[in-house]
Chains A and B, each alone.
Chain A
Amino acid sequence: MSFWDVTRQLADGFGITLLIFGITLAASLPLGLIITFGSMSKIPPIKWITKVFVWIIRGTPLMLQIILIFYGPGLLNWDVKLPRLTAVLIAFVINYSCYFSEIYRGGIESISKGQYEAGQVLGMTKTQIFFKIVLFQVIKRIVPPMGNEIITLVKDTSLARVIAVAELVKAAENIISVKGIIWPLFYVGAFYLLFSALLTFLLNFAEKKMNYYSG
């Protein structure tokens, strides 16, 4: 099997990897913020239910969550049949939303009380203070920890293969099974490296852009 044949087959797997990455990121970023509001809520039941939920999701392996979401309904005889990729996406979005929510919470709580008080003096409402004063400072502060999670997400996508979704690593494993050649498994490392190099560059760029909001 030539280098190009292998690259072409792996590129198919990489497409799935990118799809899981892109959709998870796009959905988890806003959903994480909603969970943050839940865990910072002043109403105790909402606060505690959210916190327990985050604890369960962060406290169990993502691999187990994928298996549970995909096989669970069928094993309980429910009439729901999730496509494999959908099950993976649901598990990833829930999992990453919970991690993001805690990063957001840390960012929000790091903003000094004085900022809120200044807003109140200017006669702004709570919502205005959050979106016009606090949010941008939070975004600036959380870029490094978010960058960590985002780069972890790139590699976590390889967990999708536990329910036989043909992402990048699975694509390489299929080549071993069918052709009996091993090197493609290590070649996938180059795909991950290149993609995380691109992400690192973008994250650094974002960080520089936001130097403006020095706080």
Chain B
Amino acid sequence: MKKRILSVLVGAVMCLGLCGCGGGESGSNVNGSVDNSGANSASDGGNSAGGDNSAPDNNNGGETDWDYIVNKGKLVVGITYNVPMNYQDDSGELIGFETEFTKAVCEKLGVEPDFQVIEWTKKEFELNAKTIDLVWNGLTVTEERKENMLFSKSYLKNKQATVVKAENAEKYPTTAEMGSITIAVEGGSAGEDVIKNDEALKGCTKVSMEAQKDALLEVKTGQADACIIDFTMAKAATAEGTDFADLKVLENIQNTDEEYAIGARLGDTETIAKINAAIDELAAEGKLLEIAKKYNLDDALLIGA
């Protein structure tokens, strides 16, 4: 008898579980396409997720996007560890240009920053699922990303660079010589766009990695001939004393104007307006230049320099 009651209970629990799963089935489509976005481009996965959710954001009982953040008391900022933007010093404390910049802006806005490490290929997911409020981590503004995120004003110049083994540095004076080699990039990154947009690179074999550091590892181990990643990251990652010091950074890419900005959910206009105002204040005070100088980025600064 006991066992029968137990099995009825089990049945009930299973039913609940199944309902949950049934509801989730449509969600798993979204998941599937995000896996693609890692391999191809961020737009597929991001689009469906963005389209579904950005609209209802403003309908939560008159609560605006900024109220949502203020009520929480915390501004959750999605980052990945990368030098010189957000990284840990020897004592394990988070430092970097973006770290200090975020803290300065949050101080102006009167909210507490909460740095959340994320997987970079899932940043659109994190925003739309509201597990983070902003992507603030050397995020390059691209047309594709504009469909999924709302950008703040740009504050830093960025460009893409090719990284190869030092002994091969002479082989690739321009991208024309790179037409038939294997090139690693981070999935959905600006480096991937370079391959897509440069006619000379049409014939190359592209490998999409989870992170820029994985692209460097491909080159270091000879699995790829070259990788295309952010210039600032490339410089810092191949510095003396790292395992990547035997790689060389080439400036052979015809860079269009690339800029870093902060990414928010599509509907979050109030939040972005407030952040833009705070950035202007920091620029006028010279504080932004001060932070940029500390991390050798003052040459790349777009405002307040």
Say whether, besides A81-B130, A180-B242, A75 and B30 are in contact (CB < 8 Å): yes
Interface contact B10-A64, CB-CB below 8 Å: no
Say whether, besides A161-B119, A162-B119, A177-B211, A46 and B220 are in contact (CB < 8 Å): no
Interface contact B244-A180, CB-CB below 8 Å: yes
Interface contact A71-B17, CB-CB below 8 Å: no
Residues 39-75 of A contacting B (Cβ, < 8 Å):
41-43, 45-46, 49-50, 52-53, 56, 60, 64, 67-68, 70-75
A residues near B11, Cβ cutoff 8 Å:
38, 41, 43, 45-46, 49-50
Interface contact B130-A74, CB-CB below 8 Å: yes
A residues near B131, Cβ cutoff 8 Å:
70-71, 74, 81, 84
Say whether, besides A46-B7, A180-B237, A180-B244, A75 and B27 are in contact (CB < 8 Å): yes
Tell which of B77-85, B146-154, B193-201, B254-262 binds the partner: B77-85
In the complex formed, the residue of B with least CB distance to A127 is B2
Interface contact A52-B18, CB-CB below 8 Å: yes
Bound Cα distance from A157 to B109, whole angstroms: 39
How many A-B residue pairs have C-beta atoms within 8 angstroms? Tell me.
137
Main secondary structure of the interface of B (DSSP, over half): helix
B171 interfacial by beta-carbon distance below 8 Å: no
What count of chain A residues pass the 8 Å CB interface test? Answer: 50
A residues near B241, Cβ cutoff 8 Å:
180
Residues 143-185 of A contacting B (Cβ, < 8 Å):
161-164, 166, 173-174, 176-183
Q: Which of B8, B10, B118, B211 contacts A35 (CB 8 A)?
A: B10
Q: List residues of A whose CB falls within 8 A of some B CB.
A: 1, 5, 9, 34-35, 37-38, 41-43, 45-46, 49-50, 52-53, 56, 60, 64, 67-68, 70-77, 81, 84, 94, 126-127, 130, 161-164, 166, 173-174, 176-183
Closest 5 CB pairs of A and B: A180-B242, A74-B129, A46-B11, A38-B10, A71-B129
Question: Can you offer 18 A-B residue contacts whose CB atoms are under 8 A?
Answer: A5-B90, A38-B10, A43-B4, A43-B7, A46-B7, A46-B10, A49-B11, A50-B11, A64-B31, A71-B27, A77-B53, A163-B119, A177-B82, A177-B213, A178-B81, A179-B242, A180-B243, A180-B245
Additional A-B contact list (14), CB under 8 Å, known A71-B131, A74-B129: A9-B92, A41-B7, A46-B11, A70-B129, A70-B131, A75-B49, A94-B17, A127-B3, A163-B119, A177-B81, A178-B83, A180-B83, A181-B242, A182-B220
